[in-house]
Every structure is written in C-alpha cells, then in structure tokens.
Structure 1
Amino acid sequence: MVKSFEEVLKKVKSLDIKKVAVAVAQDEPVLQALMQCKKEGIAEAILVGNENEIRKIAEEIGMDLSGYEIIHEENGPKAALKAVELVSSGKADMVMKGLIDTANFLRAVLNKEIGLRAGKLMSHVGVFEIPNVDRLIFMTDAAFNMYPDLKAKIDIVNNSVAVAKAVGIECPKVAPICAVEVVNPDMPSTLDAAMLSKMNERGQIKGCIIDGPLALDNALSEEAAAHKNISGPVAGKADIMVLPNIDAANVMYKTLTYTSNSKNGGLLVGTKAPVIVTSRADSFETKVNSIALAALVASCK
C-alpha cells in the first residue's frame, strides 16, 4: 500500500506519462511545478495563455520551453475554455488552474458544450502525509461542497474512494467524521454517518469499508479508539475522512497545512478527467503532489 508522497511519485513514474492542460499558464509557481514534473517524468504540459508572458517567466526561472506546446490566448476565460477543450477532446489527460480566479476556471470546467461534466457530483479530495501517521489520509470535502446532504455524501465517498484506489489502496477504510462516535438524533451528521455505514454494509456503496459515526481521534488513532472501547475495521485505521461540512473540512485542511510538517496535494474529481485547482498560497511541493495525484487518477480512466 502506498503510504507517502515519495511512493506516489514513484508509482506515477512507472506509468505512461500523462499530459496536463494549464489554463492561463503565465504563473511562476505553476510553471516551476510543471518544469519539475517534466524533469522527473511525472507529467507533460500544454500551456494555454499569454505566450509573451509565459516566455518571459520561463526565461526568468530557467525553464526550457522547447518541449512544450504553447497556445496563445490573452483572454483568461477563453484560455480556460481552451484548456478544458484540450482535455474533453482527448489531447490532454487533466486540466490545471493557472493565473485565473477559481470561479472563471470552474465555469469552463462545467461548460455544457465542451466541459468535463460527468453527470455526478464534483468534489474535492485532499491527500495528506502526516508525521507519526503510518498511512496517507484522504480528506473530503474542504473546497467545493458546502453542506452536503446524504445523497451528496454518497457521491463524495465514491469520489474519494476512486482517488484512494488510484493511489493504490485496494479497499479504503472510510470514516464519516462527527463530533461524537454515537448516533444522536439532534446531530444530523451522526445520522448521515450511520446511514452511510448501513448502506455500505448492505452493498449499496461498494469498494470500501465505511464505519461511523467516528470522532476524529477514534478514526486516526487505534490507541484512542481502544481507550473508548471502540472497535471495528475502521476505528483507528481510517484512510478516508469524510467531514460533515465545508467549515469542519476547511479548518482541518488548513490546520494541517499551516501547523504541522505534513505534505499534501489535492484535486477535484467526479468529472470526466481530473481537475487541479491549487491555490497561489500552496507550496511548490503541493502543486507537484497534486499533479502527480491527478496523473494517477487519469491513468485509471
């Protein structure tokens, strides 16, 4: 089982190289990450954006553009549409946000004519390598779905399971995270957690093991679960954390990012191809990790 981003990168390099279309590519951190990905055999890229600015930045960072296709488009939303079209037409395997706001980028992704709609819910999956945790932790949804109901959470689970399987986890253990580990009628998230677990038990949600509700400590730590006499196949062994809403997920995501020595990456799935929506605040390493994760998911399409 893949347990670190070092192993993720190693796995990507063993597969056929994938190509990412970058929307509004005149962004220095993104170009640096793409340069590293090409150097390491993680992914190649098609750069869509202002060619003059792309070449200027490339010169400043010592990036050789001879091995890249560049499509000149000065208008940001049009560049995003072109990048998405490259993926929907099969000329690229995944799409990445460059120097464009997320709203305009996602409008292109969801375009009815050339977009990447797949007829199901789109959700964000963050992947963390956390010190003293012996496995990768998949966390969802910190960026896209605000207050998902049970139906949405089923899709969110399925999307995250697909990413975990692409990384190499054959049967992911899924923990619907709540404030407590018992079903409480006054806490709707615990009811959703119990329903997800029962649906999984009855074969309505396949390809994983779901058990919940679980509090975060009982999902992460076998010792914490044992202290509370909580047993089961997921207690203390969870691979996937399904947070109850965007508030909890976003706070957890940013807390791990800024207060620990964790490594991370993330992507949007539930589309016809992986969508990489990194923030300008994300580190160079996070961007490389995100491209690598997307390449693994693209390899399973």
Structure 2
Amino acid sequence: MDRPHEKYDRLIERCQTLAPTPTAVAHPCDQSSLEGALQAAKLGLIAPILVGPSARILAVAKDCGLDLTGMPIVDAPFSVASAEMAVQLVREGKAEALMKGSLHTDELMGAVVKSATGLRTARRVSHCFVMDVPGHEDALIITDAAVNIAPTLEVKADILQNAIDLAHALHFDEVRVAVLSAMETINPKVPSTLEAAALCKMMDRGQVTGALIDGPLALDNAIDMEAARVKGIKSPVAGRANVLLVPDLEAGNMLAKSLSFLAGADTAGIVLGARVPIILTSRADSLIARLASCAVAALVAQSRREGTKVIG
C-alpha cells in the first residue's frame, strides 16, 4: 500500500523548483479557505492576493491566530464583488490563477464566464478532480463532475482535451483516457456509448490530441486489468486508464464522492478552459487536498508560461 497522500506529496514536491504562482483568492472569509491559502503560500505553491472585505478577513485571521504580515489584501465589500475583483486582477496581469474562498461556486464562476469582463476562451470551461486513491498506483483524473451538467458531444470534446492537457501539465508518463459508460459495447439505446465511439474517432482524426483513448468502457474494465481480461478487451487503455471521462455530472459526482467517502481518497479540484487555472475547493476538503489543488494550478500555470497547450 502507498503512503497516505503519496501522490499529492509528489505533486507538491514537483512545484518546489517553481516560483510561487500569483493567485487571486476570492473572498477568503472563513478559517479553512484563509488557512489553506496561507499554507499554500508557506510551501511556495502560490503567492496569494486576498480579495474581499478587508475588515472581515483580518478578523478571521485574528480569531484563528493566522499571521497576515506582508499579505496583500484588495478590499471588496461582498462575495460577488470579491469574485469580480479577483477576475479583474487576472485580466490586469496581476494574477495567474484564481482560488475559491468561502463564497459560492456559482458566484465565482459567474464572474469567470461573463462575456465582456470574464476569462472565457474558445475552449469550454470544465472541471477536473485529481484524486489520490489509496492502493491505486497513480493519481486519477475524473472529469467533468462539477461544471457541465449534461454535456453534448461537442462539449465532451473540449472536456476531454482539457483533461488531456492537464495530465501533460502534471507530467503523466502516458495519458490513457477511458470514456466511461455502463457497458463496453456500443448500444444505440445508450447515448453515452455512441458518444464514446465518436470521441475515439475524433482522436483518430486529430480533432482531439495528446492521449490514448478508448471507449465505451465500464468502470471495472477501465481501471482493472483482470476485469478487462475477463471481458476479452484488448486495448492499451483498458485496465490502466489514468483519465476517466464520465457521461454526465451526476455520474462523475457520484464516482468522485464514492472514492472519497468509501475508499478514503483525497480530492483535489481545478477548473480549466478559462484564461487561468481556477482552484475550486469545497468547504469539506482536507488541508492536503487544498494544497494539492494549489500544486495542480501551479503546474498548469507553468505549462501556460512555457507555451504548451494547456488552457486555464
């Protein structure tokens, strides 16, 4: 068995040679979000710019015994204004990443996707979980379980490319994508199997690039070699996938939470497809998951600086 958080520790260690990523932290007005940002700064992962009601941020720091000496604070009166100001800092080139504080996800993402003042690109915005599953050899990317509810084939192509680019930013030796469904055979009555087949053909035609891809695959034969062998599936992906593209948000959310609450997995989260990576954590996330999310964002930001394909 691997050590607890071993995969996340490797991600954080890889960031030690990088300069801290300037990060606008939107509305860090509770202990977990403020402490997470400060701990990430202490490890050199990010250089936080705290955006929100300054008096409230200072009060939280005082109550929790957190030292904000030398930490820049940009005053914004309430949560939506904090999100808009954090986005503005990115547009002005003062931040290379966004981090969610104690505001609602919809408030932050609403500011991100505004057509005139947001951070949209030609790529669809999507979410990736980077999961540290005990007993599983490598980090596992699951997408999209938080942003796109019922993605079309066109949207899935963007979700897929975002995840592939993320895997390269995280230095996966080989990116192996399983497009998941309830079965590994194509069934016209199950639309996700048809879309999986279409995505594989899009990879063949160069419409999606940078990975090995197979689908449809059921979860068991996507990640377990013996299950793939028993089903007679011969594929460079089956049994050894490190990226899982789910049919819809509900399936992805249940898969990620099952791994978290039943298998003891840690869950780092990031949103891609915007101009910068967006660190999207939950109030229930552990400190190590928050730090890992910051490490993922730092590696994505580094890939963008190097001019590779990662968007956001």
TM-score normalised over the length of structure 1? 0.96
Cα distance in 2 for residues equivalent to 1:243 and 1:82: 33
Report what 1:234 is aligned to: 237
Cα distance in 2 for residues equivalent to 1:83 and 1:195: 38
Cα distance in 1 for residues equivalent to 2:206 and 2:121: 23
Cα distance in 1 for residues equivalent to 2:250 and 2:264: 22
Report what 2:207 is aligned to: 204
Report what 1:31 is aligned to: 34
Cα distance in 1 for residues equivalent to 2:54 and 2:96: 22
Q: What secondary structure is seen at the aligned counterpart in 1 of 2:215?
A: coil
Structure 1 residue 286 and structure 2 residue 254: aligned?
A: no
Structure 1 residue 277 and structure 2 residue 280: aligned?
A: yes
Say which of 107, 112, 131 aligns to 2:110: 107
Task: Kindly state the Cα deviation for residue 170 of structure 1 after the two structures are TM-superposed.
Answer: 4.6
Cα distance in 2 for residues equivalent to 1:139 and 1:53: 35
Report what 2:172 is aligned to: 169
Report what 2:49 is aligned to: 46
Report what 1:126 is aligned to: 129
Structure 1 residue 136 and structure 2 residue 142: aligned?
A: no
> Residue type of the partner of 1:28?
Q
> Residue type of the partner of 1:266?
G
Report what 1:183 is aligned to: 186
Say which of 72, 75, 79 aligns to 2:78: 75
Moved more, 288-297 or 238-247: 288-297
Moved more, 216-225 or 195-204: 195-204
Report what 1:221 is aligned to: 224
How far does the alpha carbon of each residue in 1:7-49 deviate from its partner, in whole angstroms, 9 at most, with x for none? 1001111212101101112121011111211111111100011
> Residue type of the partner of 2:114?
N
How far does the alpha carbon of each residue in 1:142-181 deviate from its partner, in whole angstroms, 9 at most, with x for none? 0111111111110010010111111101541110001111
Structure 2: which 5+ runs fail to align?
1-5, 305-312
Name the Cα RMSD after superposition: 1.3
Structure 1: which 5+ runs fail to align?
none
Contact 1:127 1:264 in 2 (8 A): yes
> How much identity, in percent, do the aligned residues show?
38
Contact 1:171 1:207 in 2 (8 A): no
Cα distance in 2 for residues equivalent to 1:250 and 1:25: 25
Contact 2:213 2:237 in 1 (8 A): yes
TM-score normalised over the length of structure 2? 0.92
> Residue type of the partner of 2:211?
C
Q: What secondary structure is seen at the aligned counterpart in 2 of 1:157?
A: helix
Runs of 4+ with >4 A deviation: none
Contact 2:27 2:103 in 1 (8 A): yes
Cα distance in 2 for residues equivalent to 1:133 and 1:279: 23
Report what 2:13 is aligned to: 10
Say which of 67, 70, 74 aligns to 1:64: 67
Task: Kindly state the Cα deviation for residue 123 of structure 1 after the two structures are TM-superposed.
Answer: 0.5
Cα distance in 1 for residues equivalent to 2:251 and 2:208: 24
